[in-house]
């Protein structure tokens, strides 16, 4: 073997080809990474964790005045589009704002009843939070207000300890306090740039959770659709159905007839808009039309005399301050914090997912951390102005997008419309039947049951499908919190299994090439005599070193027990291309393997260790014991080509084993 030391850090190794001729192959050196201090490494890693999008790059090279303008625009996205706002844009936002207001008003009242808070809070929550979001939010399509999932979770969690009927004032205080803590938590995630926490709610979890929640929300509306007076406050399937059939004597046929009629009308309008998206206004206006018609019918026939319950009188005027209702001490503080954390995560996940979906469709970017701060601040402000948890609604955002919204100004139009309703139109809702609110909720949550996505998950990943079912059935049969917790636990378990049981594959050579691939994937790949070539596809850390040690050692024993062509195993080549990091315990793995395999006459060869890995390995190998330069290579092909020459000089019988090595 001849070597040529040059400044390019390469060697040329002579190899013998199958035809008996000789040739040279270039072997590149593996070099350590450039020196960085511990502080530089820590700062670089922290920056990558907290600022993967590098928001500060826009400030580089800019004068101070420009930096101040960019900083203000970063903190208040409204400053990015407000200076160029014109009448043409306003016309589009006016139409879309009025359209979503026609949906937001009846939905707001309905979702407030779902959360077991006074119906007027649903309108309050559609007035103040959108104004806050316009200033701080980065989405052009997101329509802000109460949503079904957060309303359900808020109402069900608080109802476990506080009765909304026996203790309405305390229930409202806990709900407002939960909203405050939800906002604090959401804002903190945005400010500290810890949004990756919500990534633990995978798509499979969300599909199962939202589907299960939709079923429970729909079943809860049977109270209003059937006219039942005494109904369970529990959210699980069995108690709800037991309550339905144990109170058959309370069923009101008048209420049932009205429920069926308007439910068919709402579902029909939704079907029309799905089939013909240009008719989006049909489903958008259907809830308000239902409220108007049902209220008129209720007033004309004196509905209460026929057993049809109505909303009753709602207070007029804008949001009253509620800062004095927040609880920061007492027995229910823990309940408020727990409820705030869960509803905060759910509403944040829904809001960001909806915002990013429509941003992708319109080819603009939504900053997740800005959205967290915007949603968080609007909930903090909302908690002091008689609002409960709000976020971006998928149904209203879809209508807002289809109606042609150009900027977040559509939220202002919606908010002003709600304000007019609060000031002048509240007496009109006095005779609105409760059954209509239930029908509106059912027609809205049906869209949360995503069967096509569930089928796709089954086709792609069976474990994800199990996670989805765990969320779905957990919500239906136990509770919202348990269903969510079980599905998240399964997802975390999967991550732990992937960490503790990393994937290792055996590589073989593709004949007549210098390419090495998985032997169990590529049928044409063949083993190289005298070499065991493995690729580790995960970081090496304390959680998986025992498994890696045992699995690699077993592979070595199996390889030695199967001697082919009279060539014994001499080299264990570990392809480290996919090992992104290693810890102190991981370093000990190589020491243990080296000691164990040396006794078997097998040398360890490392291929393409990444910067952090080679740096730590070299620092731990002061005696130059197991990280030797002649056993470090850039590619598997170079390692085999270089070490095969050594094998020929050590093992005469190796001359009988030949394979093609391209130059």
- Could you give the CA distance from residue 418 to residue 651 in angstroms, rounded to a whole number? 87
Reading the block at residue 447, the tokens are 């869209």
- Could you give the CA distance from residue 283 to residue 189 in angstroms, rounded to a whole number? 35
| Model pLDDT for residues 146-192, shown as the tens digit of each residue | 998 899 889 989 988 998 888 999 999 999 999 999 999 999 988 88
3-state secondary structure of 633: strand
Quickly count: other Cβ atoms within 10 Å of residue 432's Cβ. 25
CA angle (296 as vertex; 294, 302 as ends), nearest 5: 95
Which helix or strand (DSSP H or E) is residue 108 part of?
helix 87-114
Region of residue 504 (phi > 0: left; psi between -120 and 50: alpha; otherwise: beta): beta
Q: Which position has the token pair 């316009």? A: 134
Q: Please check whether residue 349 is in contact with residue 455, taking contact to mean a CB–CB distance below 8 angstroms.
A: no
- Which residues sit opposite 27 in a β-bridge? 11
- Could you give the CA distance from residue 75 to residue 136 in angstroms, rounded to a whole number? 7
3-state secondary structure of 312: coil
Q: Identify the structural domains of the chain with CATH numbers, from first to last.
A: 38-75 (no CATH), 79-495 (no CATH), 502-659 (3.30.750.24)
DSSP letters spanning 343-408: HHHHHHHHHHHHHHHHHHHHT----HHHHHHHHHHHHHHHHTTT----EE-HHHHHHHHHTT--ST
Q: Which DSSP state fits 572? A: E
**What local confidence, expressed as pLDDT, does residue 588 receive?**
87
Q: Crossing angle for the helix pair 394-402 and 333-362, nearest 10 degrees?
A: 30
- Could you give the CA distance from residue 368 to residue 29 in angstroms, rounded to a whole number? 42
- Could you give the CA distance from residue 137 to residue 370 in angstroms, rounded to a whole number? 7
- Could you give the CA distance from residue 244 to residue 222 in angstroms, rounded to a whole number? 7
Quickly count: other Cβ atoms within 10 Å of residue 435's Cβ. 31
**What local confidence, expressed as pLDDT, does residue 12 receive?**
57
**Low-confidence stretches of the chain (pLDDT beneath 50):** 1-8, 17, 648-663
Q: Give how far the C-alpha of residue 281 lies from the chain's centroid of Cα atoms, to the nearest Å.
A: 30
- Quick check: pTM over 0.75? yes
What are the start-end ranges of the E strands in 388-466? 391-392
Reading the block at residue 608, the tokens are 């393409």
- Could you give the CA distance from residue 66 to residue 405 in angstroms, rounded to a whole number? 30
| Model pLDDT for residues 109-135, shown as the tens digit of each residue | 889 988 999 999 999 999 999 999 999
- Could you give the CA distance from residue 376 to residue 393 in angstroms, rounded to a whole number? 15
Which helix or strand (DSSP H or E) is residue 24 part of?
strand 22-28
**What local confidence, expressed as pLDDT, does residue 15 receive?**
55
- Could you give the CA distance from residue 591 to residue 536 in angstroms, rounded to a whole number? 17
Q: Please check whether residue 304 is in contact with residue 229, taking contact to mean a CB–CB distance below 8 angstroms.
A: no
Reading the block at residue 163, the tokens are 């009765």
Q: Where are the alpha helices (DSSP H) in 192-331?
A: 203-220, 222-226, 237-246, 253-275, 280-301
DSSP letters spanning 134-188: HHH---SS--EE--HHHHHHHHHHHHTTS-TTTSHHHHHHHHHHHHHHHHHHHHH
- Could you give the CA distance from residue 294 to residue 303 in angstroms, rounded to a whole number? 10
- Which residues sit opposite 437 in a β-bridge? none
In sequence order, the 6+-apart residues with CB closer than 8 A to the CB of 333 are 177, 327
Reading the block at residue 105, the tokens are 């008003």
3-state secondary structure of 18: coil
- Could you give the CA distance from residue 26 to residue 655 in angstroms, rounded to a whole number? 22
**What local confidence, expressed as pLDDT, does residue 660 receive?**
44
- Which residues sit opposite 633 in a β-bridge? 607
Which helix or strand (DSSP H or E) is residue 52 part of?
none
- Which residues sit opposite 136 in a β-bridge? none
Nearest to 118 by CA among 109, 107, 128, 130: 109
**What local confidence, expressed as pLDDT, does residue 562 receive?**
74
3-state helix, strand, coil in the chain (%, to 5): 60, 10, 30
**What local confidence, expressed as pLDDT, does residue 325 receive?**
92
In sequence order, the 6+-apart residues with CB closer than 8 A to the CB of 586 are 539, 540, 541, 542, 545
């Amino acid at each position: 073997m001849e070597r040529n030391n040059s400044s390019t850090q390469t060697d040329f190794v002579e190899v013998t080809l199958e035809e008996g001729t000789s040739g040279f192959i270039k072997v590149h050196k593996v070099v350590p990474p450039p020196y960085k201090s511990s502080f530089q490494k820590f700062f670089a890693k922290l920056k990558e964790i907290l600022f993967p999008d590098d928001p500060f790059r826009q400030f580089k090279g800019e004068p101070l005045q420009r930096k101040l303008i960019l900083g203000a625009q970063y903190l208040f996205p409204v400053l990015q589009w407000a200076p160029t706002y014109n009448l043409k844009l306003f016309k589009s936002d006016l139409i879309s704002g009025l359209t979503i207001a026609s949906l937001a008003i009846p939905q707001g009242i309905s979702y407030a009843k779902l959360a077991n808070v006074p119906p007027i809070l649903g309108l309050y929550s559609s007035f103040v939070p959108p104004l806050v979001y316009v200033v701080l939010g980065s989405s052009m399509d997101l329509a802000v207000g109460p949503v079904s999932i957060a309303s359900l979770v808020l109402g069900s969690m608080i109802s476990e300890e506080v009765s909304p009927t026996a203790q309405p004032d305390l229930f409202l205080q806990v709900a407002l306090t939960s909203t405050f803590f939800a906002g604090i938590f959401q804002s903190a995630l945005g400010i500290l740039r810890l949004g990756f926490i919500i990534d633990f709610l995978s798509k499979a979890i969300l599909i199962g959770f939202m589907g299960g929640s939709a079923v429970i929300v729909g079943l809860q509306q049977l109270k209003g659709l059937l006219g039942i007076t005494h109904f369970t406050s529990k959210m699980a399937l069995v108690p709800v159905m037991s309550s339905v059939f144990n109170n058959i004597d309370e069923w009101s046929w008048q209420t049932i007839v009205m429920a069926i009629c308007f439910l068919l009308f709402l579902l029909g309008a939704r079907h029309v808009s799905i089939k013909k998206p240009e008719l989006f206004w049909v489903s958008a206006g259907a809830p308000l039309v239902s409220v108007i018609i049902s209220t008129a019918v209720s007033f004309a026939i004196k509905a209460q005399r026929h057993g049809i319950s109505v909303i009753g009188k709602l207070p007029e005027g804008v949001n009253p301050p509620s800062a004095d209702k927040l609880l920061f001490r007492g027995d229910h503080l823990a309940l408020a914090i727990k409820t705030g954390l869960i509803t905060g995560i759910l509403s944040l996940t829904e809001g960001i997912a909806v915002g990013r979906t429509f941003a992708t469709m319109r080819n603009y970017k939504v900053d997740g951390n800005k959205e967290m701060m915007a949603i968080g601040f609007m909930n903090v402000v909302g908690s002091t102005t008689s609002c409960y948890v709000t976020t971006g609604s998928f149904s209203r955002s879809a209508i807002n997008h289809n109606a042609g919204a150009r900027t977040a100004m559509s939220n202002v139009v919606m908010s002003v419309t709600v304000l007019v309703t609060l000031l002048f139109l509240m007496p009109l809702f006095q005779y609105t039947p409760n059954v209509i609110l239930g029908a509106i909720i059912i027609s809205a949550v049906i869209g949360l049951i995503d069967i096509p996505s569930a089928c796709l998950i089954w086709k792609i990943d069976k474990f994800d499908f199990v996670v989805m079912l765990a969320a779905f059935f957990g919500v239906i049969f136990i509770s919202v919190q348990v269903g969510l917790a079980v599905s998240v636990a399964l997802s975390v378990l999967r991550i732990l299994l992937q960490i503790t049981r990393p994937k290792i594959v055996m590589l073989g050579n593709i004949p007549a090439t210098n390419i090495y691939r998985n032997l169990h994937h590529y049928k044409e790949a063949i083993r190289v005599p005298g070499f065991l070539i493995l690729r580790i596809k995960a970081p090496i850390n304390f959680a998986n070193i025992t498994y890696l040690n045992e699995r690699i050692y077993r592979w070595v024993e199996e390889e030695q027990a199967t001697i082919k062509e009279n060539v014994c195993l001499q080299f264990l080549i570990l392809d480290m291309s996919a090992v992104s990091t290693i810890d102190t315990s991981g370093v000990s793995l190589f020491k243990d393997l080296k000691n164990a395999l040396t006794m078997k006459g097998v040398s360890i060869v490392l291929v393409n260790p990444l910067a952090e890995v080679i740096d730590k390995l070299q620092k731990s190998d002061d005696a130059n014991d197991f990280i030797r330069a002649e056993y470090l290579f850039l590619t598997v092909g170079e390692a085999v080509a270089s070490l095969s020459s050594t094998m020929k000089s050590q093992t005469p019988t190796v001359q009988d084993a030949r394979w093609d090595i391209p130059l």
